Structures are given as C-alpha cells and as structure tokens.
C-alpha cells in the first residue's frame, strides 16, 4: 500500500529507488496488459514471450514480463486457466449443509445427555420405599 501511495504521488517505489522507474507500473488491468504486449512485440528477443498472470487461474491481479522463467514464483507446471473461485466452489458450496448437520447432531447429543442426567438426578432423589430398602440390605 505504501508503494502505491508513493507512486501515486510521484515518488519512487522503495525497491526501485536505485533501479528502473518503469519496472513497476500501476493502473487498470487492460491498459497494463496492452503495455506488456506492446513491450513484448517491441523487444521480442529480450523477454520470454509470455505475460505471466494474464491467463493463469483466470487471470491474476499481478502481471509479470520477465527475461527469466518465473517458476520460482509458484507456477509449477500449468496452474490452469479456470478461476480459483470456480475450482473451490464445489467444496465450499457443501459447507453450510454440513455445518448445519453437525450442529443438529451436537444439539441432539446434548439434549439426550441432559435428559439422562436429569432422569438420573430425579431417580437419586426419589424416596425409597420399604420394599426397596429390604431388597438392598437383604
């Protein structure tokens, strides 16, 4: 956030004070993609012909143009082109019914245990009849 504020006010981003000022750009995604593709066309041998983050997992908010492979960023293999929310929806959509089921099971278990404890407490406080006392000491 500090880098964005500094860049918006005309200052240099901390990591680039001694480097190239055009190395980090802020703006609308479409404008940045157009600039990245323009840069790749202008110097085809200088960069890997790919804008990292353009299509990966549906398109990311960070775009990279690089002269070295960016596998160290976590793009091991092909992360796919489907957006992550679409991939996680299959599991996340099942969570509310599962949570409600677990809550109902826990509430039922609590009710049964409380009922048994009340019945045991009521049974212990009942006065013993003469026949029960004789059976126990018999």
Q: What is the pLDDT at residue 15?
A: 53
Q: What is the pLDDT at residue 1?
A: 45
Q: What is the pLDDT at residue 108?
A: 96
The reply to whether 74 and 50 lie within a common domain is yes
The reply to whether 29 and 55 lie within a common domain is yes
The reply to whether 103 and 79 lie within a common domain is no
pTM: 0.45
135 lies in some domain: no
Nearest Cα neighbor of 37 from 55, 20, 50, 23 is 50
Note whether 51 and 64 are within 8 A (CB). yes
Mean pLDDT, the chain cut into blocks of 10 residues (138 residues total): 53 55 74 87 86 75 78 66 78 91 96 91 71 55
Q: What is the pLDDT at residue 61?
A: 73
**Tokens 């509430």 map to which residue?**
107
DSSP letters spanning 85-116: HHHHHHHHTTHHHHHHHHHHHHHHHHHHHHHH
């Amino acid at each position: 956030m500090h880098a964005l504020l500094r860049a918006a006010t005309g200052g240099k981003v901390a990591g680039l004070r001694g480097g190239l000022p055009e190395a980090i750009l802020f703006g609308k995604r479409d404008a940045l993609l157009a600039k990245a593709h323009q840069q790749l066309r202008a110097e085809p041998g200088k960069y890997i012909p790919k804008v990292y983050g353009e299509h990966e997992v549906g398109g990311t908010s960070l775009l990279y143009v690089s002269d070295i492979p960016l596998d160290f960023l976590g793009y091991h293999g092909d992360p796919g082109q489907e957006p992550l929310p679409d991939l996680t929806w299959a599991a996340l959509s099942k969570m509310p019914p599962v949570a409600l089921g677990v809550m109902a099971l826990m509430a039922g278990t609590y009710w049964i245990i409380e009922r048994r404890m009340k019945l045991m407490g009521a049974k212990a406080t009942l006065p013993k009849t003469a026949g029960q006392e004789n059976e126990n000491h018999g």
